[in-house]
């Protein structure tokens, strides 16, 4: 959901300053700046990967505790 | 009691919002608490208004293209990785499962824009770009299902038995392996089709004016005519439900095959 922007765009347009909306705006809208969009996309991947790694670590720890 | 309350809350949270566009799509207008009148006019508008009809055709073309492309890529990939050893093969299989979570569609869209804007690969804005984008988005899902199908059969023994009877590689594929994993391939194809039919985010980034899909048309109609937008939303919900029903049927068939 970190990268989702379709629903936000349909509901509030560009009024909310979300990371996903910023990437979309730099990749497709009037503020066209592909390198900036690429950099923001890397930040998004890093945040998502960190979140997934933390979740995976937490799940493994919980599983070990149960044993 | 608490369970019942939780169930009602869950229904209100998930089912009611999905029902609203379906009810609205059959109503003449809806301004008070209840909708008024019954009409099929808004569904007719999908088929008769050229912009809506063309968007529907583009959506169907893109979805079928994405399914075909995935059939050509995901099935051989699942076959190869099913045969791969427990070391790097297992890591690759796990990677294919994690990929859709790690790379959101927005990132895929940005990457595609950067990769396909310069000649000789200047495909951005064409229908081919949308087909490629949808195939990439659907790949991990189809791959997972087809891989699971390969894992339910003893692929090596079947291949060796067929080879001992003189079957070539292509004959083994055509007459032995593909028929055995067909429910998985069809199930994956349905999932890719459903994902493609409803995809908005990447499409809005890579599609030009010649590749306006139904969800893009829906986005425009939200601002122009909410009743047609409801009919398009309801149509997309029907496509998802139909795909889900067929996938459930194929899943049950796969389980029966495994049991026998």
The secondary structure of residue A13, as a DSSP letter, is T
Evaluate whether B199 touches B207 at the Cβ level (below 8 Å): no
B137's CB contacts (< 8 A; 6+ apart) are B66, B100, B105, B108, B195, B196, B199, B202
* Nearest Cα residue to B206 out of B132, B103, B119, B99: B132
Q: Whole-angstrom distance between the N-terminal and C-terminal Cα of chain A? A: 32
- Contact across the interface for A3 and B107, Cβ inside 8 Å: yes
> Considering only CA atoms, which of B245, B130, B133, B101 is closest in space to residue B187?
B245
Which stretches of chain B are DSSP H helices? 2-25, 41-48, 50-83, 88-102, 105-115, 127-152, 155-164, 169-172, 178-198, 201-206, 214-224, 226-259
- If we measure between CA atoms, which residue out of B220, B137, B235, B134 comes closest to residue B212? B220
Per-residue model confidence as pLDDT tens digits over A3-54: 677 777 877 777 777 888 888 888 876 677 888 888 888 888 888 888 888 9
pTM: 0.82
Write out chain B residues lying below 8 Å of A2, CB-based.
104
Q: What is the DSSP string of B157-209?
A: HHHHHHHHTT--HHHHIIIIIHHHHHHHHHHHHHHHHHHHHH--HHHHHHB-G
Is the Cα dihedral B147, B149, B154, B158 positive or negative? negative
Peptide linkage before B173 cis (omega within 30 of 0): no
Q: Of B109, B111, B222, which is closest to A10 when you measure between CB atoms? A: B222
Report how far Cα B190 is from the mean position of its chain's Cα atoms: 6
User: Between B107, B117, B201, which is nearest A41 by CB?
Assistant: B107
Distance of CA B132 to the CA centre of its chain: 13
d(CA B187, CA B143): 11
pLDDT values of chain B reduced to their tens digit, one per residue, 260 residues:
888 999 889 888 888 888 888 888 888 887 777 888 888 888 888 888 888 888 889 999 999 999 999 999 999 999 988 888 777 777 877 777 777 667 888 888 888 888 888 888 888 888 999 999 999 999 988 998 999 888 888 888 888 999 999 889 999 988 989 988 888 898 899 999 999 998 888 898 888 777 888 888 888 888 888 888 888 889 888 988 888 888 888 878 777 776 76
Phi first, then psi: what are they for B29, rounded to 5°? -155, 165
Residues of B with CB under 8 A from a CB of A: 98, 101-107, 109-111, 113-114, 117, 200-201, 204-205, 219, 222
Asked whether the CA dihedral B98, B99, B101, B103 is positive or negative, the reply is: positive
Question: Minimal Cα–Cα distance from B103 to chain A, Å?
Answer: 6
Assess: ipTM above 0.90.
no
Closest Cα partner for B152 from B185, B126, B175? B185
Q: Residue B123, SS3? A: coil
Using CA atoms, how far residue B183 sits from A2, B75, B151, in Å, is 33, 12, 13
Which pLDDT score, from 0 to 100, does residue B69 have? 95
Domain ranges (residues) in chain A = 5-66
Helix (H, G, I), strand (E, B) or coil at B59: helix
């Amino acid at each position: 959901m970190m990268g989702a922007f379709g629903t936000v765009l349909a509901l509030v347009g560009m009024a909310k300053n979300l990371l996903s909306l910023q990437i979309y705006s730099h990749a497709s809208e009037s503020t066209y700046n592909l390198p900036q969009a690429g950099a923001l996309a890397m930040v998004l991947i890093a945040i998502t990967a960190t979140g997934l790694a933390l979740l995976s670590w937490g799940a493994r720890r919980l599983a070990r505790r149960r044993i | 009691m608490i369970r019942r309350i939780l169930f009602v809350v869950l229904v209100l949270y998930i089912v009611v919002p999905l029902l609203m566009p379906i009810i609205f799509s059959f109503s003449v207008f809806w301004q008070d608490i209840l909708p008024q009148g019954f009409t099929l006019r808004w569904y007719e508008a999908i088929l008769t208004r050229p912009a809506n009809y063309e968007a529907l055709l583009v959506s169907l073309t893109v979805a079928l293209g994405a399914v075909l492309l995935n059939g050509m890529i995901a099935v051989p990939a699942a076959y190869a990785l099913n045969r791969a050893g427990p070391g790097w093969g297992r890591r690759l299989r796990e990677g294919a499962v994690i990929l859709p979570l790690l790379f959101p569609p927005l990132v895929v869209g940005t990457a595609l824009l950067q990769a396909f804007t310069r000649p000789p690969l200047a495909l951005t804005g064409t229908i081919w770009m949308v087909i490629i984008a949808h195939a990439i988005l659907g790949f991990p899902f189809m791959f997972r299902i087809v891989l699971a199908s390969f894992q339910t059969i003893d692929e090596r023994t079947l291949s060796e038995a067929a080879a001992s009877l003189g079957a070539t590689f292509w004959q083994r594929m055509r007459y032995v392996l593909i028929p055995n994993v067909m429910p998985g391939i069809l199930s994956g194809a349905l999932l890719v089709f459903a994902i493609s039919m409803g995809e908005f985010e990447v499409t809005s980034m890579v599609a030009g004016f010649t590749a306006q899909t139904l969800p893009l048309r829906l986005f425009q109609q939200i601002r122009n005519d909410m009743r047609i937008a409801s009919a398009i939303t309801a149509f997309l919900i029907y496509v998802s439900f139909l795909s889900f029903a067929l996938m459930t049927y194929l899943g049950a068939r796969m389980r029966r095959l495994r049991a026998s």
